[in-house]
Amino acid sequence: MSELRIWMNGALVDQAAAVLPVNSAAVFYGTNVFEGLRAYWNEADEELYAFRLQEHFTRLRESMKMMRFTVPYTDVDLDEAVREVLRGNAIREDVHMHLVAYVVGVGMDATAPTGLYINPRRRGRISAAGLSCCVSSWTRTSDNAIPIRLKCGPNYQNGRLALLQAKADGYDAPILMNAQGHVAEGTGATFFMVRKGRLVTPPVTADVLESITRATLIEEVCPNVLGLEVVEREIDRTELYVADEAFFCGSGYEITPIVSIDRFPLGDGQVGPLTRRVLRVYMDVVRGVDKRYAEWRTPTYRGVTV
């Protein structure tokens, strides 16, 4: 399969040509903010739908605001750029994209000049069989240190430390606790559990990213498609061990089941029935098999008014 080209500052370029100066703040300090999102191929519609673009643009702008840098593109420009990179690569399959705004200036205090690239890549599902997780001994960085609400590249070093330790210890993925000792999230995903028939997830003030998938589930998919309310509350460590089911969710993770935590099997140690239902319904919505929520799916090839 051919290599996908990158949209960089207004032009489609080959991967090898998408380069940044080594002394830029972007390379040296990782001064960037980004979004990760997916577009889904719908065979019946012969269309590629990017999921919840507007919400990703809004969050990108919030991250840019917190980092005090601006990028000279409107949401309409970004919308067109996403469709240009998908169309320009003639993509007719599911694809993941990173949308990255970065600072080219030099130094810790650099806020300008800035640039932006959109990097599409093929990325399969994380795991259908379910993950074996551990509670990490690394603490999720807190809002007054390196806020996770702010989606910048350097934040991911916290998750990387936890992930590498989890793997070294024989697990698939870590669950990070926050400085208050409550459950925060996974390295790049929001955490949900099922206890006593109810879906539970930590609040947005638990040192978690304000996840778009989380909002999709809490505000619409769970109550209005599945008839299930989600409880947002703090979760204790020991609740993890007696949960009936659990899953990670996110644009990249989609709905990824968790089957054990610290070697305690959840339920019967298989992917749980509620997790399966959430997964099926979510995948139908993002792909447009379920025709509801059309406003969340930006078509690539059909003309759209933005």
Ligand X SMILES: Cc1ncc(COP(=O)(O)O)c(C=O)c1O
By CB under 6 A, name the binding residues for ligand X: 36, 148, 185, 188-190, 209, 211-214, 250-252
Under DSSP, is residue 50 helix (H, G, I), strand (E, B) or coil?
strand
Q: Name every residue whose Cβ is closer than 8 Å to that of residue 201 and which is 6 or more positions away in sequence.
A: 190, 191, 192, 193, 214, 218, 230, 231, 232, 235
Question: Which is closer to ligand X, CB of 47 or CB of 254?
Answer: 254
- Chain centroid, CA 184 distance in Å: 15
Residue 96 Cβ, how far from ligand X at the closest point, in Å? 11
CB 64 within 8 A of CB 38: no
Q: Which listed residue (151, 167, 196, 291) is catalytic?
A: 151
Question: Which is closer to ligand X, CB of 5 or CB of 140?
Answer: 140
Residue 105 Cβ, how far from ligand X at the closest point, in Å? 25
Between 53-67 and 75-88, two packed helices, what is the crossing angle to 10 degrees?
Answer: 120
Q: For residues 47 and 109, give the distance between their C-alpha atoms in angstroms, rounded to a whole number.
A: 43
Question: Which is closer to ligand X, CB of 23 or CB of 180?
Answer: 180
Question: Which is closer to ligand X, CB of 47 or CB of 185?
Answer: 185
Is 151 designated active site?
yes
Give whole-number Cα distances, 203 to 9, 44, 190, 206, 233, in Å.
36, 38, 10, 6, 5
Residue 44 Cβ, how far from ligand X at the closest point, in Å? 26
Residue 189 Cβ, how far from ligand X at the closest point, in Å? 5
Q: Which residues are catalytic?
A: 151
